[in-house]
Structure 1
């Protein structure tokens, strides 16, 4: 407790006492249906309240019909939302967790159609955005008044739903920020021009809310310090707005980034390439200038990092959203001093915001119970313990072992190699991907806590199974690289063609001119390109798709593309590997079938996907026992599917 003395001190904002300094920032979950909080969302927030969160700020609620930026946000434009909010509060209240809600209008930042046709977006001025290519319609003064009144009415509905506070979303280039930014606000009336006029909209919103909800409810503002966008707000502008609004706000929740551009949007959920707590210096600047409380987020995934920020006086509360998506019990474990038991977020973005952008409820590749609380939130009791043998110590096998042993089964986890981890051991070796190795650390700890027996350097065979006599065998033996030869690439013997895995492990000579054949269009090709470019090679990344990183989350991809551009990596889309001949590599354009030819190539690096390792499955084809096959040996995919299937395979045994 001494090491985290600040983190578990209570804090009061206005009249709202928060039991600790850990909060969950407002984030879209893709769970609500029909515009209201529902049972999955209630269960989701309850899990985080039960896990010890001091404050939960619920996701955005639209304040006007023109605020529908996705088809699955909460709409606070009618009383229909009130019972759902009340249900969330009732579910979280027994754990002492406070609940705020975000009030939202995206302005021009419309990312989704409601019916397949492009909606009309409204903004201060007709200035388009880069990311969604939306040309907005300028707001009339009549509509501005409607929207201001909408914020106030929405706040009153959230108050009737039992929430303790509301947060005006002025971050990430949304409507209040569009008014404030002189590059997006070109109005000549009282809402444009001078700094005071550009801030008028946000001030009117705050005053209208206060008049509607009375003196007790907390009112805060979320704002980006730096939009990280050439056309966005800069720290000096945001700081001036914060200082000016200090008289009407109870707190400022500071973050970075903007939805309007590719480079700015990365900061909405910064991936592992970004430093932990990188927004804290701006929070410290704000803290020195305002009376209101200061909240901060941005890649703060460990309680020790949160404690340092608090101890430095940089902020009053710490946003640890993805940390609690990954481990809802993180606060409770930290308070008990069980730091080694915390399942730390690795910033991969694959199943949290990655699911949101794909239109699915958010989850976590390490903790697939997240978003599935109604199905897997509670471990089912077992009638009698069984002996379960798991072949393969990658993420899927480890998750299966952890869940089965936690439920009370006798579990033996066998790994043919020297270490647990599977392909994650390779992933962590690439530039900016070291944190991915955290999945190994976290799942290994879960296996140990469950009490499963771990046997490394142990290959499971039919004879081994028959000797151990388990009740069930879970096959999680993974996959191996698909070779250029098996992919039908011509002339492999005449050129220097090597596998991606061998390059990552530094097991082959490369030369100075490299072509990467990237069929997967994922992190492997991009990571190889960065690794080899930093080693001084001329790198051409040929992707058999329409863009590099096509199959990974856009924030991870977009940031990585920028890094590769700075390293002078040439990216060639729609390029399928056809053949090699000495120092020449031949590709086909994927749509025209015309040749793409590269000369003076020292090495072709093949990242052509994986092939399942099916030997054990074949050996056990006639074995009379319960067999479950999970992960890449079922068919090659990603760690997310392997871990989820490890959960599913053992949740019912």
Structure 2
């Protein structure tokens, strides 16, 4: 077996788990994660105090109430059918809870949304403790194998622990011992409620990444004090409320893989219970290495199991190369997308479980499908159709597959995109798809192939800027700049501060020590990026600020040999030195090219960026869903 440690069993207070993989609570797809081979599946959450602890709604019901408990029990059945152990998150939002009247927390305050937060009294604490006891007993009695106490990410127990949110002057504030008093009482109450032989897990943030927060040394001490009540502990980071820390709870592609492992290793040295790390453990090689190095006993996977719920099973079967890699785009995270367009860029089934089946159905009548364009949409459509038994011919104009991914994957912050591109290439290589590179598809070429169906995925092209000097030898497109980075001079001007321009500028300023000036008629960078992507980008831009400059409300008038001439919002002209100029003012769909194919084949569809330049999620879903139904 390639990963013997990752797939070795582990006993947690008498409970045997078949491997060291924990599936974190990320959506309702418990069944997929269990059938995919995870050892423990945390099947959603249970609020502790109905009406005063949910972050979703003041109306969220108690998971164990009379009319909810049967559905809660079915979560367990869905997990157990895959041979996994079922856990459930025990959650209290504290001062951040969605309420109809007032919230409760360590301090009295008024939230930004106008909700009153009342400082918890001794009677309040006793009441909340009773709710905790009732909730965990119900979890045990309904059939869960363990409970998962959420003490991290800025929720109620963390609010008491952190000096950022706890300014009390009584026995529950001030020193760490005082701040830990109520959280420890919670754990003591939970242990008494479930008994000594029922497994209790806990998640906690090693570092919150917010000003004035708790230090890791205090977190470590708290874990030592908490150990008598626990059977396992998960080490995370960041907070769920507060965008500055949120991007360290769910990291973007700008951060390294498994960033919390070093803290988890220190915890493991300090305690004798199993320790798991959560956060960007992206592939089984990384997971096996963390266990082999003694850093952790388990890995807790969130987004990797969204991208591919079969991650554990594929790894155990030695098919790590078939795992669909997460690209850390954060489209799956409701906070990042403001609850709009939530989904997974690389797994079209996530959040679409009712319309996208877990397994593809073989084609009843195999047909010949021709796909024009070898970007993410074209490749996805071709793979899905081929897996169903259709005959697929994939035509690509260039000498390689990947489309825009080919250039994105070359950026240093985009190792996850590079992994995704390599995955797609492997899948195509192992498939029955007839790939024809260097083919300039035309309607006549398509006619000669006599397809039954035609998928057009010709993508988008870079927008050209009609200004004097744009055809100079020192003027490059974004893609050209990525490929010819080593040729660029010390002074670089980028026209356009969208995602492409800003990321190229960040790369040059951070890794090549160039001075970069971005010129844009707007007032912000990467305006189409999701919320957490933009925050992760902002933090990196701040770090590179001495080598980057933004000129907002400014348009380039002409490009000269060693400078550009720009006009600001007041109409004033000025010059900016430029050894090289990069034009990155956006993408335009190849609609006219795509529409020229209509009428050749009765069944014709356009997918991906040739409809409109969007994100990978849109391209993959459109192509997969069409081919799924072909």
Per the normalisation by structure 1, the TM-score is 0.88
Deviation at 1:263, TM superposition (A): 3.8
Is residue 643 of structure 1 aligned with residue 620 of structure 2?
Answer: yes
Deviates more, 1:270-279 or 1:247-256: 270-279
CA shift digits 1:105-137 (9 cap, x unpaired): 233446xx789xxx855321257999x999854
Alpha-carbon distance in 1 for matches of 2:231, 2:350: 31
Q: Of 313, 333, 336, which aligns to 1:353? A: 333
Match for residue 558 of structure 2 among 543, 567, 580: 580
- Which deviates more, 232-241 or 612-621? 612-621
- Which residue is equivalent to 1:281? 262
Q: What is aligned with 2:55? A: 69
* Residue range with higher mean Cα deviation, 503-512 or 92-101: 503-512
Q: Distance in 1 between matches of 2:485 and 2:181?
A: 62
Find the aligned partners of 1:543 and 1:201 in 2 and give their Cα distance.
52
Q: 2:77 aligns with which of 90, 93, 110?
A: 90
Secondary structure, counterpart of 1:374 in structure 2: coil
| Structure 1 residue 6 corresponds to structure 2 residue 5 | yes
Bigger Cα displacement from structure 2, 82-91 vs 438-447: 438-447
The answer on 1:253 being equivalent to 2:253 is no
Q: Which residue of 1 aligns with 2:284?
A: 303
- C-alpha contact (below 8 Å) 2:375/2:404 kept by paired residues: yes
Which residue of structure 1 lines up, in the alignment, with residue 531 of structure 2? 554
Matches within 5 A, 1:492-511: 498-506=476-484, 511=489
Farther off after superposition, 390-399 or 496-505: 496-505
The equivalent of 2:315 in structure 1 is: 334
In 2, the alpha carbon distance for the partners of 1:268 and 1:236 equals 19
Distance in 1 of aligned mates of 2:165 and 2:606: 54
CA distance in 1, matches of 2:453, 2:614: 24
Q: Does 1:122 align with 2:119?
A: no
- In the TM superposition, what are the counterparts of 1:524-535 in structure 2 within 5 Å? 524-532=501-509, 534-535=511-512
Contact kept? 1:225, 1:238, Cα under 8 Å: yes
Q: 1:230 to 1:139 in 2, by over 3 A?
A: same
Q: Distance in 2 between matches of 1:100 and 1:598?
A: 63
Q: C-alpha deviations, 1:437-463, integer Å up to 9, x for none? A: 222122223334442121211221112
Identify if the C-alpha distance between structure 1 residues 346 and 450 changes in structure 2 by more than 3 Å, giving closer, same or farther.
Answer: same
Q: Partners of 2:420 and 2:431 in 1: how far apart? A: 16
Map of 1:246-645 to 2, 5 A cutoff? 246-259=227-240, 261-349=242-330, 351-353=331-333, 357-360=337-340, 362-377=342-357, 378-485=359-466, 498-506=476-484, 511-518=489-496, 521-532=498-509, 534-543=511-520, 545-567=522-544, 568-570=546-548, 572=550, 575=553, 577=555, 579-580=557-558, 582=560, 583-587=563-567, 589=569, 594-595=570-571, 598-602=574-578, 603-614=580-591, 616-645=593-622
Q: In structure 1, how many angstroms separate the alpha carbons of the residues matched to 2:625 and 2:343?
A: 15
- Distance in 2, Cα, partners of 1:133 & 1:539: 42
TM-score, length of structure 2 as denominator length: 0.91
Supply the distance in 1 between the matched residues of 2:525 and 2:295 (Cα, whole angstroms).
38
Residue 196 of structure 1: aligned partner: 177
Cα distance in 1 between the residues matched to 2:76 and 2:46: 16
| Count of aligned pairs between the two proteins | 623
Deviations 1:285-341 (A, max 9, x none): 212221222111221111111111112222221112221111111111111111221
1:490 deviates by 7.5
Q: 1:16 corresponds to which residue? A: 15
Which digits, 9 at most, give the CA deviation of each residue in 1:5-55, with x for residues without a partner?
A: 11111112113221111111233x3xxxxxxxxxxx2xx111111110111
Deviates more, 1:268-277 or 1:461-470: 268-277
**Change in CA separation of 1:298 and 1:490 when aligned onto 2, cut-off 3 Å:** same
Q: How much does 1:206 deviate? A: 1.6
Deviation at 1:495, TM superposition (A): 11
Tell me: CA distance 1:400–1:461, structure 2 relative to 1, closer, same or farther (3 Å): same
For the 8 Å contact 2:47–2:91, the answer to whether it is kept is yes
CA RMSD of aligned residues (A): 3.0
The verdict on how the C-alpha distance between 1:180 and 1:453 changes in structure 2, with shifts beyond 3 A counting, is same
> Which residue of structure 1 lines up, in the alignment, with residue 194 of structure 2?
213
> Would you say 1:101 and 2:88 are equivalent positions?
yes
Q: Say whether the 8 Å CA contact 2:89–2:149 is kept in structure 1.
A: yes
1:97 positional shift = 0.8
Return the alpha-carbon distance in structure 2 between the equivalents of residues 601 and 216 of structure 1: 71
In 1, distance between residues paired with 2:91 and 2:477? 48
Q: Which moved more, 1:287-296 or 1:542-551?
A: 542-551
Unpaired runs of at least 5, structure 1: 30-40
Of 192-201 and 466-475, more deviation after overlay is shown by 192-201
User: Contact 1:108/1:134 (CA < 8 Å) preserved in 2?
Assistant: no
| SS in structure 2 at match of 1:562 | helix
**Is 2:140–2:194's contact at 8 Å kept on the other side of the alignment?**
yes
Instruction: Give ranges in structure 2 of 5+ residues lacking alignment.
Output: none
